[in-house]
Structure 1
Amino acid sequence: MPGHGPTVTVQGEATVEAEPELAVFAVTLTATGRDRADVLRDVADLHKRTWSALVGLGDGVDVETGGVGVHPRYEDRPGRRPPWFDATAQLSVEVGEFALLPDVLTVLGDVRELSFSGPSWRLRPAGPVQRRARAAAVHDALRRAEEYAAALGCTLTELVDLSDATDGRTWAAEESFPAALSAQAAAHGPLAELDLRPIRQRVSGSVRARFRMTVPDLDALLLELTEAP
């Protein structure tokens, strides 16, 4: 049976830091030409070769295909010359084994018709770090409620309800936004000089909790306040 008596509502908060679990690259392959079909074939071939090279690095590299697009690009005077066509294909590369990062960069740097951004350091979704943060927030809520109850000379008797805060970014790790880098530019600056040290991730969130507590003796509390120096 539900209890009776006063309740105390609190918000528990927590921030947990941890080493990242994934390094993510956003890759764009490009092809340009005057024949639309040829451009599509070129970008498809680039996609196949790059995808195969990345997948060949092993299970520590996960590659997903994104969108493919082709767009006409006209000269300054339309009609004087046939239009150019620009085709693009997207890849998302997730590296879970950081020892493979130099190999991934070597593959990306060997393709001149490629630009990429990364690595963006991330945690796996719904992983142990998020669970630790949730548990820490619950403990913080309980501590706060106990402190409020103790200030009234009461003790907590039961949990009424517990929920995530309504912020949509609750339990989301902070993400960095790396600059884009083209393979052609990288050829003039060694990729080995890039700083590949993982950036620690922070997971923050909050919970709302409502507890029932014993009835305070307000007369005794007021008397104590009036007698205080």
Structure 2
Amino acid sequence: MATPSEDPQPAAPYGTPDAPHIAVRGEAHLEVEPEIARIGVTVTSRGKDRRTALDDLTRRNAAVLDLLKSYGDAVEHLETGALTLSPELKDKGRGERVHTHHGSVHLTADLNDFTALGELTTRLADSDLTRVDGPWWALRPDSPAHRQARRQAVHEAVQRAREYAEALGAGLTALLELADTDTGADSPAPPRAGRTRSLAYAAAEDAPAAPLDLEPQRQHVVARVDARFTMTPPRL
């Protein structure tokens, strides 16, 4: 004859009159100073033949790299992206006759020294056939601000659940579930317009341009958690 199992039955996924459930969401919103600034640099060249365009691009790219590396530890990360070298065909005439060749190389640099940022971007923008985009302000993935926001979101969830339970004359007894529903930064602001060398510089080649005054854009860090608790029976 079979005997009933003595194993405890699993808890129901919903509350009971003796052990009601309470579900809340905790949120944290922080505004903090950025930790890095990213800029994009596009170096271009143009030549009547492919070799001339390539040699010119190589020279300009080396000059930009030397300038970026001269700032030492202020440039935290530097990488080369897309490289292109393409012919431009003549619009008129028979056959595919090449009019000129265009070359470009894209660089990305992350800076952690915002004092040097204005001077560097100005010097880059003052270079021939060089375009500068940015800056885009950001936090590092392991920034303490993310951890602080997550802790605050959890504390908010516990406090909110406790207040709901107290409003019913009850108290929290156990945590059933804690889910990270959304964490990170809000949608970034639209990229700021890049600066490129203008014809106005041609009139004063020997006079350096005044450094740009760039104000860091504060970052909005968000963390959200969903939490479920059990509580004592309310006094209704």
TM-score (norm. length: structure 1): 0.83
- CA change 1:80–1:157 in 2 (3 A) is closer
Output one character per residue of 1:13-72: Cα deviation in whole Å (capped at 9) or x when no partner.
Answer: 111011111121111111122322332332222222211211111111132211112233
Task: Indicate the percent of aligned positions where both proteins have the same amino acid.
Answer: 40
> When the two structures are aligned, how many residues end up with a matched partner?
215
Match of 2:177 in 1: 161
Cα RMSD (Å): 2.6
Distance in 1, matches of 2:67 and 2:111, equals 14
After the TM superposition, which residues 62-73 of structure 1 pair with which residues of structure 2 at under 5 Å, given as runs? 62-73=77-88
Distance in 2, matches of 1:205 and 1:160, equals 20
Distance in 1, matches of 2:44 and 2:164, equals 61
Letter in 2 for 1:122: A
Match of 2:188 in 1: 175
Gaps of 5+ in 1: 222-229
Aligned pair partner of 1:187 in 190, 197, 201: 201
Distance in 2, matches of 1:208 and 1:3, equals 20
Match of 1:58 in 2: 72
Distance in 2, matches of 1:33 and 1:125, equals 42
Gaps of 5+ in 2: 1-7, 13-18, 203-207
- CA change 1:43–1:137 in 2 (3 A) is same
- Structure with larger Rg: 2
- CA change 1:52–1:15 in 2 (3 A) is same
Task: List 4+ stretches of structure 1 deviating above 6 A.
Answer: 1-4
After the TM superposition, which residues 2-151 of structure 1 pair with which residues of structure 2 at under 5 Å, given as runs? 5-61=19-75, 62-77=77-92, 79=95, 81-151=97-167
Output one character per residue of 1:120-143: Cα deviation in whole Å (capped at 9) or x when no partner.
Answer: 221122201111111111111111
User: What's the secondary structure of 1:153's corresponding residue?
Assistant: coil
Distance in 2, matches of 1:54 and 1:27, equals 10
Letter in 2 for 1:93: A
User: What's the secondary structure of 1:139's corresponding residue?
Assistant: helix
TM-score (norm. length: structure 2): 0.80
Letter in 1 for 2:107: L
Output one character per residue of 1:185-218: Cα deviation in whole Å (capped at 9) or x when no partner.
Answer: 6838x8536331212111123111111211224x
